[in-house]
Amino acid sequence: MSLTIVIQIYVFVLAGVVGYQVISRVPPLLHTPLMSAANAITGISLVGSLVAAGADHGRLSNILGFIAVICATVNVVGGFLITDRMLKMFRRDTRKRS
Amino acid sequence: MNGELPARELVIQAIYLVSSVFFILGLRGLSGPEKARGGMALASAGMLLAVVGTLLHADIVRYDWIIAGLLIGSFIGVVIGRPLFITVPMTAMPQWVALSHAAGAVAATLVGMNEFIHLGAAASPGTMAALGFEVLLGTLTVTGSVMAFGKLQEILPGRPVTWPLQNVGNLILAGVALALLVVAAVNPSLSWAFWTMAILGGLLGILMVLPIGGADMPVVISLLNAYAGLSASAMGFALDNNLLIIVGALDGTSGLLLSILMCKAMNRSFANVLFGAFGAPGAASAKAVGAGEMKEITPEDAAVRLAYAGLVIVVPGYGLAVAQAQHTLRELTDQLERRGVEVKYAIHPVAGRMPGHMNVLLAEANVPYDRLYDMEEVNGDFERADVALVIGANDVVNPAARSDPSSPIYGMPILDVDKSRMVIVMKRGRGAGFAGIENALFNDPRTAMLFGDAKSSLARLVTELKTV
């Protein structure tokens, strides 16, 4: 096992722990926006897709990458827009209670 | 990792690091509704940085495909995400999320396959294992998400589809797929092993989701989110990209945590949701409750009871969302408040079709979020409530969950509506609920039933209230 893989596993596990700490503080009120946000963030596969679409690995690689870029971008853009649309609706009570 | 990194690579890594921090802080913003939008803006900035950093990558030599892909993808994303063109109703949020998962997983799968084609037999076992996981989880997520979408959108039958030996069969299939992954990792020149594994992953996604009923689908969607995240992490391992590893891991934990929370709220184990095919044959244990008759109430009487109450607790369920009655409900509670009645909304964690779904539906109807109370917060208040108004909810208010060990929902945390002075249940008809379980609450002498479509019943109540 190379040092790189060991470091990668460190990063993976630590990110998982941070994720657990952060996500477990999200109140049930916001669980649906959280799901939608997590979904938008899954579009991070865009990073790999971009390289495939732009690399000099042959036409097939470009086309597969191109399709991947479209799908991942739909995921990202649609995901963030819908999450924002949802969060915009959450309002505090402005009227005074008697 | 050995030697000095070229300057370009250093810049990329610095951008990725900032991007990772933005993602984490962005999710942190979701810990309260005030900071949530800002948090999401930060997370989208993180995504933008990730794209910018990647475009500096030394392997990228041409930008035509990239620009075309980004433009087409953004266009479709805006069409879906902005109500300007097509409005995705908030009730359809679960299936939309499922479909979006499928898109993200297609990207991960294609990248993995492409990398395999490119590297071929030259791939190291470590890289091959990572690619294998990426593609296996990817194809599974794609077909599973499409199936979940089909079921929730009612293109496919929502009821669980079962066949003999399905769990054993699925486990064997999963075992074979994993074995093929090992074969491909040990000997990358055996490309048939890799491709067969990819196909089996897709098949597994279909077969895993088919037996799961519509009510359990949110758990599955949440789990598929975790798979999609892990697939992205695996991509990170294959491509030596820490950003992918970090963000994938964040997604993985979020999906897993939400699935576990939902299972807890339904008092079911993970295994039971995934392998139980709930809702098909199991409902046999629902015995007749027969303690007293259901008592009906007219909208006139119900309006009077509400108008002269001190505290009314509204318990909205999925029936409310189906009838799209949340706006009419808002009108009703506005009127009550103008009369000086205190109104609280009690939200069960699994009200709706995904965790926290009911909160979004009520927020859409302009109900301020500080009126929405979680189960633990509000359960103590039912004792002093004059009326509990249950709208289209059934199992989450079934006292059998507390008292009847033979009930399939025994042990599930419920809203204690039966402790309030009077309960008005608004319901379409006399039938049992989604899970087919009888509810003794409906026969309780303190309960009055108001039958009919939630929206028209609520509208009647609004009109009647004006004359009280």
Distance separating alpha carbons of residues B51 and B379, to the nearest angstrom:
47
Interface contacts (A, B; CB < 8 Å): 378
Percentage of residues in chain A with pLDDT exceeding 70? 94
Cα–Cα nearest to B135, from B97, B104, B109: B109
- Say if B104 is an interface residue toward chain A (CB within 8 Å): yes
What's the pLDDT score for residue B286? 42
Mean confidence (pLDDT) of chain A = 89
**Is B395 part of the annotated catalytic residue set?**
yes
Q: Which residues contact A8 (CB under 8 A, 6 or more apart)?
A: B236, B237, B240, B242, B245
What's the pLDDT score for residue B281? 39
B365: helix, strand or coil: coil
What's the pLDDT score for residue B170? 85
What's the pLDDT score for residue B395? 82
On the 0-12 / 13-18 / 19+ scale of CB atoms within 10 A, B253 is buried
What's the pLDDT score for residue B433? 55
What's the pLDDT score for residue B292? 63
What's the pLDDT score for residue B445? 86
- Say if B344 is an interface residue toward chain A (CB within 8 Å): no
Contacts of A8 in chain B (CB under 8 A): 236-237, 240, 242, 245
What's the pLDDT score for residue B435? 57
Q: Say if CB B353 and CB B94 are below 8 A apart.
A: yes
| pLDDT greater at residue B166 or residue A89 | A89
Q: Say if CB A75 and CB B97 are below 8 A apart.
A: no
Q: Say if CB B354 and CB B281 are below 8 A apart.
A: no
Q: What are phi and psi of B13, to 5 degrees?
A: -60, -40
* Chain A 64-93, residues with CB within 8 Å of chain B CB atoms: 64-93
Q: Which residues contact B104 (CB under 8 A, 6 or more apart)?
A: A39, A42, A43, A45, A71, A72, A75, B228, B232
Catalytic residue among B216, B251, B381, B395: B395
Confidence band, pLDDT 50/70/90 cuts, at residue A95: low
What's the pLDDT score for residue A98? 41
Contacts of A6 in chain B (CB under 8 A): none
Q: pTM value?
A: 0.86
- Say if B203 is an interface residue toward chain A (CB within 8 Å): no
Q: In what order do the strands lie in the sheet with B342-347?
A: B372-374, B342-347, B311-316, B387-391, B423-427, B447-451
Q: Say if CB B142 and CB B204 are below 8 A apart.
A: no
Would you state the structure tokens that stand for residue B21, as one six-digit string? Answer: 């921090």
Q: What are phi and psi of B372, to 5 degrees?
A: -90, 125
Contacts of A18 in chain B (CB under 8 A): 24, 250
Mean pLDDT in runs of 10 for chain B (468 residues)?
A: 77 96 95 93 96 92 92 89 67 85 94 91 88 95 93 80 79 92 90 94 91 80 91 94 95 91 80 61 43 80 91 90 87 91 90 82 88 89 92 86 82 88 87 67 88 89 88
What's the pLDDT score for residue B264? 82
* Chain B 360-389, residues with CB within 8 Å of chain A CB atoms: 360, 363-364, 366, 368-372, 374
Q: Which long-range contacts (CB under 8 A, 24 or more apart) does B410-415 make?
A: B410/B267, B411/B267, B412/B265, B412/B266, B412/B267, B413/B265, B413/B267, B413/B349, B413/B375, B414/B348, B415/B315, B415/B346, B415/B348, B415/B375, B415/B378, B415/B379, B415/B382
